[in-house]
Structure 1
Amino acid sequence: MSDNVNDKEQQKQMEEIFICDDIWLEVFALFSPLELGHTMALISDRFDALVDLHFKHKKWSLGSLQILRAIDGNGAIVKQSSGEQLPIPQGPIPGKVIGFEKIEIRYIDRSVIEFLQSIRRLFTSTGTTVDIGTSADQSHSWEIIWQKIWPNLRSVDFRGLFPVFPADDNTDASSRQAMAKWLLTPREDGLPKMLHCDFYSPRGGMEEAFVNASESANFIIRPRPSLNVFRPCKLKNKSTGERLTFQQMDGDKWLLVRCPIERDEDKWAKWEKEAIERKWSRQWNCIFINFNDSDIGDGMGDANVDGPSEPNK
């Protein structure tokens, strides 16, 4: 009998303890959306209102998505990490969506391009890593990549040796020549391109190409740490008003920089610091492109269709 009385007293005391809304909203962050909606919201009217408030103010990530060809072969679908498959979203995404973990593109058509355009603000808000896994023999796929994606990249983590000059991105050019071509192609916003690559002397003809250049190009190259002994250099090209320097910046970190002779030191110091501190292997906000010629759908017959703009990494 006394035990029952104690239990009732404890329950009454618990009911009298008031936990403010702000504390509950912090606790809700530990629960999944499913748990909140199907468990916590059902406890009471107060909790139902608090769960609604939590969802209203919470910022969301798209998580990990795969874009695939639909099972019936018509159009594209989105596969979530949970395994659920949904049609390609149409229209703008909610303002509470602030990023994504990974989007793997294994099929592309006009609806996929429009979806990427609808989320392009996510590319510039925190930066985007683009990883290209398409095979080298998929010519139509690479035509789309070269024309619609390649020019918009600001930085590249190149899993190969230093670029080779003369720069060339024709079909018979090497990947190192194509990388040199990308470096020399200026961005519309004027920001310097950044490259992370293996580095062995000699420097692939870059110094000779720089001295003989008639057009300007701004870029920063950070070589991976190497057992090779790096040789500093400092050159000027009066025709383009530029300088090319290769120097040790911090410990084993070196930078090769092509920039104006008269430059905004504050801006370039910021960009050089960014190149040194950049997490080149970052996984958040990653787009993985891995489609082949057989995975190209309607509206992509002409590679000159308007593509998604401005992934900046």
Structure 2
Amino acid sequence: MFLSPLIGQLKGYNGVNSRIKPKPNGNDEIGRGQRFFISADCWLCVFELLTPSQLGFEIAMISHRFDFYVDEHFKTRKRTLKFIQIRSKIGENGTNGMEIVEHYDGKALPIPQVQLPRKFIGFKHIHISFIDRNAIAFLFHFRQFFASGLINLAINTHKDRIAGFLLRNIWPMFGKNLHGMGLSGTFFRHLRQFVGTSILNDFPSLRFVSLYTVNLFGEFPCDDNAAASDGQAVTKWLFTPLQNDVPKMLKCWVNDEGNWMSRIEAIKAAFTYASSPVNFIVVIYIGMPFADSVVLFNLTNELTREQLALKRSDDYDEYFLLIRRPIVRTESKWAKWEEEAIGWRFYEPSNQWNQIFIQIINEDEIGDELLDATLGPSDH
């Protein structure tokens, strides 16, 4: 709103040189009728404060010179997307279609028909709850960015047929640059079965994993070969250090049926006999009333000069942090990492950029033209 007066003033400005209109009291500071000069660089800085629609439909219409400035701005500015959602829309003939809307106000956006501009540097959050050919084409425009930038990708589905569809049609668009990954148990199982049993460790920059299933945590021995369970593969990834010694982060859910405290005891035993260090932060969600019975601890390994601690989150009663870290450390840095681990989520915009959250629960969330062609016969 505060930019509206600025736009109004610009509409009365005829180019590079102009006269200052006298104020009603005649006390204008520059001088009545005095000409002044504003460089193109100054205008380009001002344009950063305006939206593309304000620039294209209002400022560019002022004069040929402003039209040139706006065109130059769009050629040189770094472009980003913020929060958008791809969802289903019922067409006039009753068939499902796709629409792209702004995440918060639901305002419809045009479907891009061309590749992203060279100046595109990233996006905040893309939420996908419906997939048809247009949705796949939309993601296809990002393929070069997916291959070159660090992406945070989450795929949540609990049906095998849908997991197979996503594995064939969506997963191949992403390269080896995943920074964070959110996985349902079903999709993780498909990845290990059809892509590679060591899929988590195949991504050298993978720093964060969120599991949308219970008790897939702390299984030993840690291994990711074909005979290993999904839980063992997660433990193998967690205990494989990153090259820069930044802690890996795992977010998981447990309940008492999984006898999760025995898994904590296994991690404590592995820590006690460890001969090499590894840093990680595990955020564990434990539902009530089991959370109140958790026993906290703080262990030390003098050989690796590390601590292993289980503590309760200061802000969320049902969140616990299992942290393996050096004894001698920068407390402020680790406090920031702990906050990052708790705040990292995929289902809504969080503290990370370049997030894609794909949640396809039912088959009617896949376009009719793709459903029969790619899913195959129903399991039912």
Retained in 1: the 8 A contact 2:47–2:73? Answer: yes
Matched to 1:155, the amino acid is F
Shift of 1:106: 2.8
Q: How does 1:102-181 map to 2 (within 5 A)?
A: 102-108=125-131, 111=136, 114-121=140-147, 123-124=149-150, 128=152, 130-134=153-157, 136=158, 138-142=159-163, 144=167, 145-146=187-188, 147=191, 151=200, 152=203, 153-157=206-210, 163-166=217-220, 178=230, 181=233
For residue 337 of structure 2, what is the amino acid of its counterpart? Answer: A
Say which SS state the counterpart of residue 162 (structure 2) adopts: helix
TM-score scaled by length of structure 2: 0.51
> 1:100 and 2:154 equivalent?
no
Task: Name the residue aligned to 2:108.
Answer: 83
Cα separation, 2, equivalents of 1:75 and 1:98: 32
1:205 aligned partner, one-letter code: A
Contact kept, 8 Å, 1:163 with 1:204, in 2: the verdict is no
- The equivalent residue for 1:276 is 338
* SS of residue in 2 equivalent to 1:22: helix
Q: Does 1:20 align with 2:39?
A: yes
Count of residues in correspondence between the two structures: 271
What is residue 184 of structure 1 aligned with on the other side? 236
Q: 1:16-65 CA distances to partner (integer Å, 9 max, x unpaired)?
A: 13233333222222222112112211212322222122212211112333
- Per-residue deviation, 1:189: 7.4
**Post-superposition shift, 1:235?**
5.5
Instruction: Name the % identity.
Output: 26
Q: Is the 8 A contact 1:246 1:254 kept in 2?
A: no
Matched, 1:256 2:309: no
Structure 1 counterpart of 2:52: 33
Q: 1:59 to 1:83 in 2, by over 3 A?
A: same
5+ residue gaps, structure 1, are 260-264, 303-313
Q: Any idea what the Cα deviations from partners look like across 1:202-252, whole Å, max 9, x if unmatched?
A: 516324567899xx9955124469875531234599xxxx89740489x97
Summarize the Cα distance change of 1:51–1:58 in structure 2 as closer, same or farther, 3 Å threshold: same
Q: CA deviation at 1:184?
A: 1.3
State the TM-score, normalizing by the size of structure 1: 0.60
SS in 2 for 1:232: strand
The letter of the residue matching 1:20 is S
Output the aligned Cα RMSD.
5.4
Distance in structure 2 (CA, Å) of the matches to 1:219 and 1:180? 18
Within the candidate set 298, 305, 316, 1:232 is matched to 298
Deviations 1:244-264 (CA, angstroms, capped at 9, x unpaired): 740489x979653389xxxxx
Asked if residue 221 in structure 1 is aligned to residue 281 in structure 2, the reply is yes
One-letter code of the match for 2:296?
Answer: F
Query: How big is each residue's C-alpha offset from its partner over 1:165-196, in whole Å with a ceiling of 9 and x where there is no partner?
Result: 24799xxx9xxx84553231377976763224
Q: Which has the higher contact order (CA 8 A, sep 6+)?
A: 1
Query: Which of 197, 206, 211 does residue 267 from structure 2 map onto?
Result: 206
Structure 1 position 195 matched with structure 2 position 257? no
